[in-house]
Every structure is written in structure tokens, then in C-alpha cells.
Structure 1
Amino acid sequence: MKRLGKTVVHGMVAATAFAAFVAQAATIRVACSGVGQEFELCKGAAQAWAKKTGNEVQIVTPPNDASERLALYQQLLSAGSDKIDVLQIDVVWPGLLGNHLLDLKPHAKGAEKAHLEGFIANNTNDDRLVAMPWFANAGLLFYRKDLLQKYNEEVPMTWDDLTAVAKKVQDGERAFGNDKMWGYVWQGRAYEGLTCDALEWVVSYNGGTIVDKDGTVSIKNQNAAKALQTAASWVGSISPTAVLNYAEEEARGVFQAGNAVFMRNWPYAWSLAQGDDSVIKGKVGVAMLPKGGTGGRNAATLGGESLAVSKYSKNAVAAADLVMYMTSAAVQKERAIKGSFNPTIVALYKDAEIITANPFMGELHGTFTSAVGRPTTVTGPRYNQVSNQFWNAAHEVLSGKAEADEALGRLEQSLTRLGRGGKWH
């Protein structure tokens, strides 16, 4: 009887402990982008954390279009909704969403010091760390090594060089029977991706940064106009007219199908191009984006994503723990090797396995450290309006609806009014 009594007591204790565990277990809803391999890698890391901690994760897939995703986040956060606990946010959003996000500094416990300093500064609002860096990005030029070799051409150094080489190879391949071949594909849809592409063109021609750091609206100038007119000349020539509705995946689809010589995209496209099912596996090179002619410079827009916790989450501690796990060195290394996502942890750029999988991360490391930031700090909560006006002006020029001087003149006037008098502060 005594032994039975102990068994009963032990059973009761075990049952009580299990009930307490179940009560403490949290269900965390995490937003994972569906672009490229992002979804599977995000889902895999989240599920690994759930298995490790005994919690549950539910994956939410927001719109792939960055502008639509931001609008969804703003709608949910403004309403104080707890429908998403962990948000995947773009590098330009901490200033827009920061008031709705949890301060992660107490949860990071110093881990943030291992990340790229500029990224941490970008994610800090009023001494609050509102997001942990997840992966870094910068615009890159992908090219067909085999086709350049076939036509005895070098990687183009300027946009004029790219235009000429793209046309030569495109026409040659079409003559050989590939009537689907295009010279250059990129992101031309009227959305944040076009802001990234167009900013690269403008900066490469020394045309300013839309709104400069001192608050001056600088976009109406001859160099910026030259940049946009150059890009407009590609449409229907070396780029399909449909490029005006391309985002990242549309451009990658054409390039990876073997139907483009050059492509502007983010690093994630590398591992996909090298996949076993890729018809261009082993035929792709990566380089800096071209300069804007004599006196110009190479310019790559800074991109990247972070993970943040909604301050309306009912399981904020568990959500923050998930963020720290998913942005850890081990997870970032796995993402770099499997998905070519650039780490934000500095030490990982010396990791031999990462460099073997992604040689460009070592060769083009400077591209990421010197990437051009969008004018998010100086424009603050009005950045989204600035970007929207900029990409619409660029799209007008690209689609032939307006000359560059005309479109940039209207843009300057509009941004001056939005900045309340000609300078932003």
C-alpha cells in the first residue's frame, strides 16, 4: 500500500508539473516572407525553436510586396492587434513602426554587439532596440559567365558598357534561336523595390540621395535625370516592357530560366541559381553594379531584414526568445549556406563554410559595408510617402509618360512641401 501511495503521489506530482508546463507553453505567430527560400528557412528555424522550448509556432505569410506588407503591419499595429507576435521587417521600417515594437535590449543581453554596428544603429529608436538584425542585403549584378565568355566580353564597369554588352549578347542569342533572351532584367514595378533600383542609378551618376542627410531635397539635377533616362532607354530594348511590372521574383524567374544575360537582384538569388534544378547552375557570376559613367561610382542600396516583437503580443517574453534564437550565429550561418542570406554577425564573414558556399560574400564584402542607405533617418515617419512619390516619378519616366526633368521637377516640389519648407529636419 505504501508503495502504491508513493506511485499515486508521484503520478499526481507529474500530472501537476505537466499541467503547469502546458499552461506556460505559448503559441507564437511569426511572419515569414514567401520570397525564394525565405519561407522554408524561416519556418524551419521557428519550428526548431518550438521543439527546443516546448512552445508552438504558427507561420503567417504576409504579402511579398514590401509596400503591401508594410500597410498590413501598420493596420494591425495601429489597431493594437495581437494577431502577429514576431514581425519580419525591412531595414527602412524601424522608424515607421518603432513605437509599436518591444524593446529587445533587455532580452538581447549584449548579443547585439556581435552584429553590424550600422544595422544596430538603424534598429535603435530613442535608445530602444526595436528589432534584431536577421540578414543584410545590397543590390548586386548577376551575370551569365558562359555567355560573356562566348561573346568575348568582360563584366561591364559602367551602365553604358552594360547596355552595349547586353544588346550584343541578346541579339546574338536570338539569332541562334533563343527569341526569349533579354539583356537585362531588374525591378521596375511601382513599389519599394523600384526605389532601391532607381536610387542605385541616381547615386551611381552622382545625382544625390533624394533627400540628403542635411535635409536638402536634392533630386532635381541633371545627373539624376541622366540616370533615369538611361534606365528608361532599356525598356523594350534590352529589357522587356513587362519589366515595368517586375519585382524580385519576376526578374529571377526570367534570369534563372536562362533568358537574361544580366540581372539586378539581392544575394538570395545566388543559391537558387546554383540549385540542382537550375538550368544556369555553374554559369552565374556576381559583381558590383556598374558605375554611372566617367566620374560615377558603384552604388548598391542597403537592404536587409530584421525580426521584431509586437508590443501587443500576449507572449512577449517567449516571442523575444524566438527572435534571439532566429537571429543567432548558428541560424544565420545555416541561412547563409543554404539560402545565401548575408549574415549580420560580423564574425561569420570569416567562416570558411559560408565563403565556400557563397564566394561573393568574401569578394564583395565591401559592397555590403559601403551600401547606400535610403533617406529613412532624415525623413522619419514620412519616409513611406517620400519613397512612394520617388518610385512613382521613376515609373513615369521608365514607362515613357514623362521626361526625367519634368518628373523630377514635380517630385522636388512635392517633397519640398512634404518637408514643410524645403528642408527636412
Structure 2
Amino acid sequence: MMDSGWTIPFIVRDQLVNLSEELSQETLDYVQNDYLDSAVQTASDPETGDLYGLPMFTDYPVMHYRKDLVEDAGYDPEGENWATEPMTWQRFSEIAADVWEQSGVEYGFTTQADEYIGLSCCTFSETMTSWGGAYFGDHDNLFGPVGDRPVTVNEEPVHDTIRMMRSFVAGPGAENALDGYQQVTNTDVFEFDEEDARGPFASGDAVFMRNWPYAIEATVGYDDSPITADTYGTMPLPYAVEKGEGNYEGTGGSSHAFNGWHLSVNPHSDRLGDAIKLLEAFASEDVMLTILENVGHLPPDPAVTEQANPDNVGAIGNHLDTLAVAAENTVARPVTTIWSDQSPIIAEEVHAAYRNEKSPERAMSDLEERLLEIENG
């Protein structure tokens, strides 16, 4: 089993079995036609398109919120279809600021903004995408070709992504902030990873939280959390520009970082036939549903999530409609042979701009130069 975030996109062909040559045509058609594009993309050779991993389960974040606090503040999440219809970041900031003020809790919003891999691969990537920006232009370039693709971080949508976060932590009147976007949290989030963000939310001290689906099961009914299944809300992540209206192909609209795991086969196995049969078995709606119900892992076919019986899947059962929308709007991290060198400097420069140690323009100009150096070897 391999992490989709690190291995498959730059596989060495003699280290894994080419599943396009071994799986049945029926299974290959199912994978290509019904699996999440991000899952298939990260399991395929970026040059040939051949499949070297079978997506087994997936993961993608959503916006979590306190339904009770939101409703007490006068909002109607069900009537406004928050669960399936993404709102703009500007509207989100207005609501979060209002509920934060009315509720008196510590945070209006928590997220992961520490200087670590989660910033470059996920929270910044997905928010930048929702603004219409990108690391390397069109998303066809996510996995290369290294050295022969544009570096597009020093552009207005990327600058505005940073400015929005400046507004979120310091208000629209702060230096390098974005007018019209309200303060919804404070600089504490610059030290937060996933559990740091979940802690205040689970204890009742935050209105909204960006996090992965695990947070639902980890919060409802545990750690003396005041949040119950009935008061736990989720919705797709907000967006800044409409889908398809960004600067590059694949950008704009509600965007969610993709993560997950794939099954692959060692070409030196003396039980290759049995291994292929096992993979064929996993490419089944019934098996995916069983894994979802018993383990809670989201399937690579979003239709299975959408069709699951909410009563059989635990705490996430109330959120399957939101998860289905998020699944259809995932963005893969740009993993190549040089991503391990690029990811830390992305986090470093973005974090410096978030903290206002550099202006967005200066930080992204510096990042552009550093990424190009790595791209060009």
C-alpha cells in the first residue's frame, strides 16, 4: 500500500507492476470512468498514463462548523443548502465574523497554517486553487515535466490568497490584507497543524474549522466535547472565483486537497496472479462499501459514498452529501522527484508572508526564484 502523496507520480517502472497490462479491461474501465480523477492521476505514470497503483481509499478536507452557534446567530444552514452548495470566501468571512462575535468563543475559524508539509501540499494549495492560482500553471503540469513547466506563484491570485489570510487573522485594515474579508481568527493558527486546529473546535471554542473527515469521528462523543452529532455541521470549502474561471486549467471553485492510499504489486512476487486477483476484488462497490462501513475509509468511487446508508457508517453518516461534493472537487499535490525539495521552501515563503515578515509580492517573487532554481537543477 502506498501513500498517494509521495510515491506513485514518480515511480520507477521496474519497481512496480504495470497494472494496465494485468488488470481486466472491465476493472480498468471502471477505474478510468468512475474513480476520482485525482486518485487515478496520482496512481498513474505521468508520461504514459499507465496505471501502477489501484486507489484503495481517499481523504479530502471539508469545512466543519458548530451548527448550534450558527443557527443561534440567525443563519439557516439547511435552508441555504450549506452542505452541498459552496459559498464564497468573502461570504464565509462575513458569517464567521458575525457568529464569532455573537457566540463569544475563542476562535471564529481554525485551520492548519504552521510552517510544515500540510501548508504547502494542502491548505495553501487548495485555497490558492480556489482563487484561480497555481504552482505550475495548468494542472496538467502537477507531475511535470520537471524543468519544462512554468512557475506561476508570483501572480495576483496567489498574492490575494495570502492577503485573504492576512485579513482573516488581523482584519481587512491590516497591512497586506484584503479589503472586504473579515477577521475570523488570530495568529495562533500560524502554529496549528491538524490536531491543534481540532482541539479548540472539539472543546467548543471555535465556530468553523478546516480539517479532514477524521475530525468528525474524533470529536463527536469524545473528549467531553459539547458538540453532538446533531450540532455538528460540514460544508464544502469556500471559493473566491467560479470553477473554470481561474488563471489556469483546473483552478477556481471549491477546492479540496487530495490524499489517499493505493494498492500496488511488487513485480518480483512469485504470486503475481493472486495479487492481481486481490486488486480486482478491491475494485468493487460492495467491497468499498464494506470498508466504508467498517473502517470509515472513503472510497475512490464517490458514488459509493453518496449511496451509502448513513445509519451504517458511524459519525460521518450525517455528512455524506458534503463529502461527495468535496470528492468531486479535489486537487492533487504536485509530487515529482523534486517535490521534497520544493515543499519546504513553499511552506517557508508562504508562512513568512502570512506572518507579514514579507509582503505577498516579495515572498512569491522569492519563491518563484527558488522554485525555478530547483526546477532547472
TM-score by length of 1: 0.65
Question: 5+ unaligned residues in a row in structure 1: which ranges?
Answer: 1-86
Give the drift of 1:140: 1.4
1:223 and 1:412 map into 2 onto residues whose CA distance is 14
Of 293, 301, 311, which residue of structure 1 is paired with 2:256?
301
Of 342, 367, 370, which residue of structure 2 is paired with 1:411?
367
Which residue in 1 is equivalent to 2:231?
A: 283
Structure 1 residue matching 2:297: 3-state secondary structure: coil
Q: 1:205 to 1:338 in 2, by over 3 A?
A: same
Q: Retained in 1: the 8 A contact 2:62–2:235?
A: yes
Which residue in 1 is equivalent to 2:42?
A: 122
Q: Retained in 1: the 8 A contact 2:131–2:240?
A: yes
Of 243, 259, 265, which residue of structure 1 is paired with 2:189?
243
1:117 and 1:285 map into 2 onto residues whose CA distance is 24
Q: 1:107 to 1:299 in 2, by over 3 A?
A: same
Q: Which string of whole-angstrom CA distances, capped at 9 and with x for unpartnered residues, describes residues 384-413 of structure 1? A: 333332222211112222111100011112
Structure 2 residue matching 1:124: 3-state secondary structure: coil
Counting aligned pairs with the same residue, the percent is 22
Give the drift of 1:343: 0.8
Q: RMSD of aligned C-alpha atoms?
A: 3.5
RCO higher in 1 or 2 (8 Å CA, sep ≥ 6)?
2
Give the drift of 1:347: 5.2
Give the drift of 1:225: 0.6
Give the drift of 1:123: 0.8
Q: Retained in 1: the 8 A contact 2:114–2:192?
A: yes
Which residue in 2 is equivalent to 1:150?
A: 72
Give the drift of 1:255: 1.6
Give the drift of 1:264: 0.9
1:138 and 1:355 map into 2 onto residues whose CA distance is 21
Of 93, 98, 114, which residue of structure 2 is paired with 1:168?
98
Which residue in 1 is equivalent to 2:166?
A: 232
Q: 1:347 to 1:128 in 2, by over 3 A?
A: same
Q: Retained in 2: the 8 A contact 1:211–1:375?
A: no
Which residue in 2 is equivalent to 1:29?
A: none
Structure 2 residue matching 1:285: 3-state secondary structure: strand
Q: 1:202 to 1:262 in 2, by over 3 A?
A: same
Give the drift of 1:188: 1.1
Q: Which amino acid aligns with 1:122?
A: T
Q: 1:240 to 1:134 in 2, by over 3 A?
A: farther
Higher helix share: 1
Q: 1:385 to 1:272 in 2, by over 3 A?
A: same
1:256 aligns with 2:202: yes
Question: 5+ unaligned residues in a row in structure 2: which ranges?
Answer: 77-81, 142-148, 171-182, 247-251
Q: 1:346 to 1:366 in 2, by over 3 A?
A: closer
Of 86, 93, 97, which residue of structure 1 is paired with 2:7?
93
Q: 1:254 to 1:100 in 2, by over 3 A?
A: farther
Give the drift of 1:369: 2.1
Q: Retained in 2: the 8 A contact 1:333–1:354?
A: no
Q: 1:399 to 1:322 in 2, by over 3 A?
A: farther
Q: Retained in 2: the 8 A contact 1:270–1:340?
A: no
Q: Retained in 1: the 8 A contact 2:107–2:184?
A: yes
Worse-superposed segment, 319-328 or 229-238 = 319-328
Give the drift of 1:275: 4.2
Q: Retained in 2: the 8 A contact 1:210–1:218?
A: yes
Q: Retained in 2: the 8 A contact 1:185–1:255?
A: yes
Q: Which string of whole-angstrom CA distances, capped at 9 and with x for unpartnered residues, describes residues 152-203 of structure 1? A: 13558222232232233223333xxx5xx21111111222321211122222
1:363 and 1:355 map into 2 onto residues whose CA distance is 16
1:373 aligns with 2:329: no
Give the drift of 1:276: 6.2
Which residue in 2 is equivalent to 1:393?
A: 349
1:184 and 1:100 map into 2 onto residues whose CA distance is 46
2:14 and 2:192 map into 1 onto residues whose CA distance is 32
Worse-superposed segment, 133-142 or 323-332 = 323-332
Which residue in 2 is equivalent to 1:69?
A: none
2:199 and 2:287 map into 1 onto residues whose CA distance is 27
- Equivalences, count: 327
